[in-house]
Homo-oligomer: A and B are copies of this chain.
Amino acid sequence: MSGRGFDLACPAPLRHRTVQLAHGGGGRLSRDLVEQVFMPAFGGAALSSRHDGAVVEVPAGRIAMTTDGYVVKPLFFPGGDIGKLAVCGTINDLAMTGAAPRWLAVAFVLEEGLPMEDLVRVVHSMRDVARASGVEIVTGDTKVVDRGKGDGMFITTTGVGVVPAGIVIEPRRVRPGDAVLVSGDLGRHGMAVLSMREGLTLTGALESDCAPLDGLVSALLAAGVVPHCLRDPTRGGLAAALGEIAMDGGVDIEIDESAVPVSEAVAGACELFGLDPLYVACEGRLVAIVPAEQATRALEVMRAHAAAPAPARIGEVLGPPDASRRGRVTLRSRVGTSRLLDIPAGEQLPRIC
Footprint of B on A, CB under 8 Å?
A: 20-31, 49-71, 92-94, 96-97, 99, 103, 105-109, 138-146, 148-151, 154, 156, 158-161, 163, 168-172, 231-232, 234-236, 240, 244, 248, 281, 343-348, 350-351, 353
Contacts and interface: CB of A to CB of B under 8 A. Distances in A.
B26 A65 contact: no
Considering the complex of A and B, which 8 residue pairs feature the smallest CB-CB distances, nearest first? Answer: A22-B346, A26-B235, A25-B347, A53-B66, A67-B105, A158-B158, A60-B60, A27-B344
B156 A67 contact: yes
Given A51-B96, A60-B61, A63-B160, 8 more contacts: A21-B347, A21-B350, A25-B236, A52-B66, A53-B97, A55-B99, A63-B63, A143-B154
Q: How many copies does the complex hold?
A: 2
A248 B353 CA distance: 36
Contacts of A151: 145, 149-150
A161 B94 CA distance: 18
A149 B146 contact: no
B53 A146 contact: no
Contacts of A29: 345-346
Contacts of A161: 53
Contact of A22 (B63, B154, B345): B345
B344 A28 contact: yes
Max chain B C-beta neighbours (<10 A), residue from A28, A54, A143, A172: A143
A60 B58 CA distance: 6
Nearest to A26: B235
A113 to B, nearest CB: 14
A31 to B, nearest CB: 7
A58 B107 CA distance: 24
